[in-house]
């Protein structure tokens, strides 16, 4: 028998439990008056059943009741009357001899309270205690009591109304996979007992407790995190707050709410979660850990199959956990998941790694058998050792192919690396290594070259696989700067293939395109092709003929009309599938220079979609470069800035170092065009940051470096640094001339240099370059090249002759079908300046207003500003734009652009390292200026800039 000394009870600690405590106290008052009964307190694990008993004991002992208590446990559940004996402090073992023995003579035990067996002796013992005064009996966790004691409590309940005794029992009531014992009092009339239920704390009560324990000035998300990690269960919440208290004592309370137990400095929370799982039984604990391990994958049926549990009870258990807030769903029908990462971490704590792998393997196989997506299957296999089954390989490769098509290269690489763990045939291993090597090399990682080199000898020597792998390896080497090694392995492949076969010709075409990364190699290849064309033209295939057209176009030897006619003849002859990508790549580049943009778009679209599985190929890279050139020429800056290569570099928060150099490989042309796009859209600081990242790692002998020099020259000229800009333009021109590229269709360096020379007062030199540019533009004969050359020549010439040349430039550009709007804006500004200088201010203002309008439609803020400055010079009053895209600040445009792409505010905050309030403020301002009210209206409101261009 255990007495309890009257001590003060901290009722403030029993949050939202006072009502139950008062009702139990009312039962105690009745018992003190001589009418006893049973009070049953039920609730899930951790809701405070034991704490409530302590409060009842403390309160009623102060009111004169003697307290006896027992705490049931699984260890004593096999001993008969163990719980009652502990409660009444009775000696059951060994049985006493003689007439007062506990055991009833004969066969079987008499459980009647009015007989002579142990049950009756215990009842008489209880009555003797009650005779001494009001008695409070407390039995904690009665669901763990032995069956004899449970039956005794039920029989006693029918007689307690005659005694000054209150029997308070606590019972765990929670839905588990293993059905619990029936409710103890299910057979009793409701008049003989009172029933009380404890629930988790409400959000308000939990929030008050968190503030009391951790302080009022908590960072955002901490209170919500505490509630989601505990479901408001007091046991879990108090344990978590103990751990968080120690964490905040070290960190000062700053930072985000922890999402893993590794961030906590103690393990009270994890220990309490483990105890709760143990209380729920092995089947429920297994299901909970399976749910936590699979996280967002798996409906009820899958969870039941993997965990080996009953599907019906599994579904009801998940519903029960969802009601308590410990399990959540993203939406109706969505898979269940543990409510918070910290809770998930605690649930999985101590679960063997082998068992976790088994869960993923079983889930993967079940998903595959059910016909789920290959990605869902493959994600489960990533953390599993080799399965050794065909279905696993098929799922991994299909998932990788899907990820590549969707532009998700990182998961694609993960799936391919995992596939290499499976037993594969020699050819299939070579295929997987090729695909993986292409992804790695395309991302600038040196390991890609190693994977491709390993794959080459595994492919069939006479099959197309060996050609694709070797070309991919050559492309990776050339883009990394080792052009000679790339050309050597392609020559070796040609020697192993039948002479003049389609595969040999394709290897030669790939080598020709890769030679452009090295000046001497390019000139040597072109010299060879020109020699063959002069002496044995019939030996040239379509790819070689197209390359010759390209060479002559850039050398200023043929017109755009002649080039297009020759390419049309080539296109009328069906190309071998192995050669087709190389023919298309060259044709698209020349057509882009010829300003045949509709045809360029069609060829690029067909080429990239048809040959994308090849991944790393110089023809595909050439098509991508042409697409970027065409976008820049037409002023489609949003399209250009949304290119994955550009996005990857712009969004990298830590530029510099070898990794940065690798990321720039093979993308310098596209990034150079991005520098100009940033400049034109008013993002000059970003343009300089990008240029500064390219400069230290540029491929100095590649054709791409010439594009960068020209872009940096434009950037420097825009800053007014004409001497440095002139140096870049002239270096670009020297290098282009060394490559026999004289035409302004590629890099109009003479126009840029002439503008700088004029600004520096060296008009004679400027005029010489402008006239040479015009002469070469006449040879090519397209509106863009001629209009640009006339504009610059007019600006440099000045006077009446300069005005006439500027007017001719505008007239020529107006004849172009489409795609020359950027050049037309520049020509209109130049003409407006000439008219202002000539005193024709009225005509000048008309021309300049047209220029400002066109520039605004393009989103070219720099040209809008230039047109407005010229308008001011002409005497016009310029009204600043207060609405529309042009009115957005740089920050507003970038944030609105990211939101238009589907990024959440939280993602934008993380990407741009901004506070959430800052993002919200900028979006509100952008909505007002754009005249919209909903996020879904952003893409159309931003126009061409919404496609990643801000």
Does domain 11-197 match CATH 3.40.50.300?
yes
Q: Phi, psi at residue 43, to the nearest 5°?
A: 170, 160
Q: What is the 3-state secondary structure (H, E, C) of 719-757?
A: CCCHHHHHHHHHHHHHHHHHCCCCCCCCCCHHHHHHHHH
Structural fold of domain 424-621: 1.25.40
Query: CA torsion 99→105→111→113, rounded to 10°?
Result: -30
Helices 234-251, 268-280: inter-axial angle, 10-degree rounding: 160
How far is CA 681 from each of CA 671, 678, 817, 825, rounded to the nearest angstrom?
Answer: 15, 5, 24, 14
Q: Token match 């404890």: residue?
A: 198
Check: CB of residue 452 under 8 Å from CB of residue 466.
no
CA distance linking residue 10 with residue 7, whole number of Å: 10
Per-residue pLDDT, 464: 84
Ranges in the chain annotated CATH 3.40.50.300? 11-197
Q: What is the CATH number of domain 890-946?
A: 1.10.10.10
CA distance linking residue 232 with residue 200, whole number of Å: 5
CA distance linking residue 293 with residue 667, whole number of Å: 40
Q: Phi, psi at residue 337, to the nearest 5°?
A: -150, 155
Per-residue pLDDT, 858: 80
Check: CB of residue 52 under 8 Å from CB of residue 39.
no
Neighbours of 96 (CB within 10 A): 13
Q: Which two tokens stand for residue 575?
A: 């190309």
Closest by CA to 668, choosing from 716, 639, 719, 706, is 706
Ranges in the chain annotated CATH 1.25.40? 424-621
- Classified as helix, coil or strand, 340 is coil
Neighbours of 251 (CB within 10 A): 12
Residues in the chain, pLDDT under 70: 1-13, 91-111, 253-254, 611-615, 653-666, 697-699, 879-883, 917, 928, 943-950
- Classified as helix, coil or strand, 135 is strand
How far is CA 487 from each of CA 430, 433, 471, 516, 614, rounded to the nearest angstrom?
Answer: 21, 21, 10, 11, 19
Q: Token match 């090519």: residue?
A: 780
Check: CB of residue 466 under 8 Å from CB of residue 495.
no
How far is CA 888 from each of CA 144, 180, 859, 935, 950, rounded to the nearest angstrom?
Answer: 69, 64, 11, 16, 11
Q: How many helices (H) and strands (E) does the chain have?
A: 46, 7
Q: Phi, psi at residue 168, to the nearest 5°?
A: -105, 120
| Dihedral sign, Cα of residue 938, residue 939, residue 942, residue 943 | negative
Q: Which two tokens stand for residue 468?
A: 């694709």
Check: CB of residue 129 under 8 Å from CB of residue 135.
yes
- Classified as helix, coil or strand, 41 is strand
CA distance linking residue 734 with residue 147, whole number of Å: 98
Q: Which two tokens stand for residue 213?
A: 């324990």
**Angle, CA of 255, 257 and 260, to the nearest 5°:** 115
Q: Which two tokens stand for residue 939?
A: 């893409």
Per-residue pLDDT, 13: 63
Closest by CA to 771, choosing from 817, 802, 814, is 802
Closest by CA to 202, choosing from 76, 27, 16, 380, is 16
Closest by CA to 380, choosing from 392, 397, 394, is 392
CA distance linking residue 407 with residue 129, whole number of Å: 79
């Amino acid at each position: 028998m255990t007495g309890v000394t009257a001590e003060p009870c901290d009722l403030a600690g029993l949050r939202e439990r006072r009502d139950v405590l008062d009702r139990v106290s009312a039962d105690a008052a009745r018992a003190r008056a001589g009418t006893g009964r049973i009070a049953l307190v039920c609730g899930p694990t951790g809701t405070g059943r034991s704490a409530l008993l302590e409060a009842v004991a403390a309160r009623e002992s102060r009111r004169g009741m003697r307290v006896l208590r027992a705490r049931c446990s699984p260890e004593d559940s096999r001993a008969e009357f163990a719980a009652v004996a502990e409660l009444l402090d009775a000696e059951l073992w060994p049985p006493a001899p003689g007439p007062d023995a506990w055991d009833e003579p004969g066969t079987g035990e008499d459980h009647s309270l009015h007989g002579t067996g142990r049950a009756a002796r215990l009842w008489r013992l209880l009555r003797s205690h009650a005779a001494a005064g009001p008695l409070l009996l407390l039995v904690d966790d009665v669901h763990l009591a032995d069956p004899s004691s449970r039956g005794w409590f039920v029989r006693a309940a029918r007689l307690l109304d005659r005694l000054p005794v209150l029997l308070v029992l606590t019972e765990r009531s929670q839905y588990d996979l293993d059905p619990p014992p029936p409710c103890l009092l299910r057979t009793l009339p409701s008049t003989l007992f009172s029933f009380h239920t404890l629930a988790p704390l409400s959000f308000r009560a939990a929030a008050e407790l968190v503030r009391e324990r951790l302080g009022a000035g908590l960072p955002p998300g901490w209170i919500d995190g505490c509630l989601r990690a505990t479901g408001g269960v007091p046991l879990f919440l108090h344990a978590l707050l103990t751990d968080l208290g120690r964490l905040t004592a070290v960190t000062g309370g700053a930072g985000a709410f922890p999402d893993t137990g590794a961030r906590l400095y103690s393990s009270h929370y994890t220990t309490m979660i483990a105890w709760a799982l143990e209380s729920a039984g092995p089947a429920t604990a297994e299901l909970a850990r399976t749910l936590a391990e699979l996280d967002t994958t798996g409906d009820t049926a899958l969870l039941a199959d993997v965990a080996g549990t009953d599907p019906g009870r599994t579904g009801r258990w998940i519903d029960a956990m969802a009601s308590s807030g410990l399990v959540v769903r993203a939406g109706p029908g969505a898979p269940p998941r543990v409510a918070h990462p910290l809770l998930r971490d605690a649930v999985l704590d101590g679960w063997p790694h082998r068992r976790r792998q088994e869960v993923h393997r079983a889930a993967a196989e079940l998903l595959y058998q059910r016909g789920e997506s290959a990605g869902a299957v493959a994600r489960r296999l990533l953390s599993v050792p080799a399965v050794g089954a065909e279905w696993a390989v098929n799922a991994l490769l299909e998932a990788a192919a899907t990820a590549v098509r969707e532009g998700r290269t990182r998961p694609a690489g993960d799936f391919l690396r995992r596939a290499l763990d499976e037993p594969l045939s020699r050819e299939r291993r070579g295929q997987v290594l090729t695909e993986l090597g292409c992804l790695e090399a395309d991302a600038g990682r040196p390991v890609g070259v190693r994977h491709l080199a390993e794959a080459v000898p595994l492919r069939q020597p006479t099959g197309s696989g060996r050609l694709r792998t070797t070309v991919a390896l050559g492309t990776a080497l050339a883009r990394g700067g080792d052009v000679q090694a790339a050309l050597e392995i392609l020559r070796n492949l040609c020697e192993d293939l039948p002479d003049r076969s389609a595969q040999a010709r394709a290897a030669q075409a790939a080598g020709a395109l890769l030679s452009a990364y090295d000046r001497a190699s390019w000139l040597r290849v072109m010299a060879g092709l020109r020699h063959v064309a002069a002496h044995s033209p019939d030996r040239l295939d379509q790819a070689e003929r197209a390359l010759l057209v390209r060479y002559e176009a850039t050398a200023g030897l043929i017109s755009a009309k002649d080039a297009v006619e020759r390419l049309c003849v080539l296109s009328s002859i069906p190309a071998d599938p192995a050669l087709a990508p190389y023919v298309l790549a060259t044709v698209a580049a020349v057509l882009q220079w010829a300003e045949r943009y509709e045809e360029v778009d069609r060829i690029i679209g067909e080429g990239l979609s048809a040959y994308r599985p090849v991944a790393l190929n110089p023809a595909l890279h050439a098509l991508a470069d042409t697409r970027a050139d065409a976008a820049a020429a037409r002023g489609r800056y949003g399209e250009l800035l949304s290119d994955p290569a550009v996005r990857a570099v712009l969004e990298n928060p830590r530029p510099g170092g070898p990794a940065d150099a690798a990321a720039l490989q093979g993308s310098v042309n596209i990034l150079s065009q991005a520098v100009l796009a940033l400049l034109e859209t008013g993002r000059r600081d970003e343009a300089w940051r990008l240029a500064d990242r390219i400069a230290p790692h540029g491929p100095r002998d590649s054709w791409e470096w010439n594009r960068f020099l020209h872009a940096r020259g434009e950037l420097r000229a825009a800053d007014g640094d004409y001497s440095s800009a002139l140096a870049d333009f002239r270096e670009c021109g020297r290098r282009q001339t060394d490559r026999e590229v004289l035409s302004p269709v590629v890099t109009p360096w003479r126009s840029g240099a002439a503008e700088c020379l004029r600004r520096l007062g060296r008009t004679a030199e400027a005029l010489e370059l402008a006239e040479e540019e015009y002469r070469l533009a006449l040879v090519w004969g397209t509106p863009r090249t001629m209009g640009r050359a006339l504009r610059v020549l007019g600006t440099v010439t000045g006077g009446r002759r300069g005005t006439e040349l500027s007017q001719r430039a505008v007239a020529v550009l107006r004849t172009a079908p489409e795609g020359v709007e950027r050049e037309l804006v520049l020509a209109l500004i130049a003409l407006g300046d000439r008219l202002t200088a000539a005193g024709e201010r009225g005509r000048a203002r008309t021309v300049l207003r047209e220029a400002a309008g066109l520039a605004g439609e393009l989103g070219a803020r720099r040209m809008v500003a230039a047109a407005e400055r010229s308008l001011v010079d002409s005497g016009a009053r310029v009204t600043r734009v207060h609405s529309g895209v042009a009115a957005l600040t740089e920050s507003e445009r970038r944030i609105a652009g990211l939101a238009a792409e589907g990024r959440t505010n939280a993602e934008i905050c993380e990407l741009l390292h901004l506070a959430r309030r800052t993002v919200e403020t900028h979006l509100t301002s952008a909505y007002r200026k754009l005249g919209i009210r909903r996020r879904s209206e952003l893409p159309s409101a931003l126009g061409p800039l919404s496609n990643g261009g801000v």
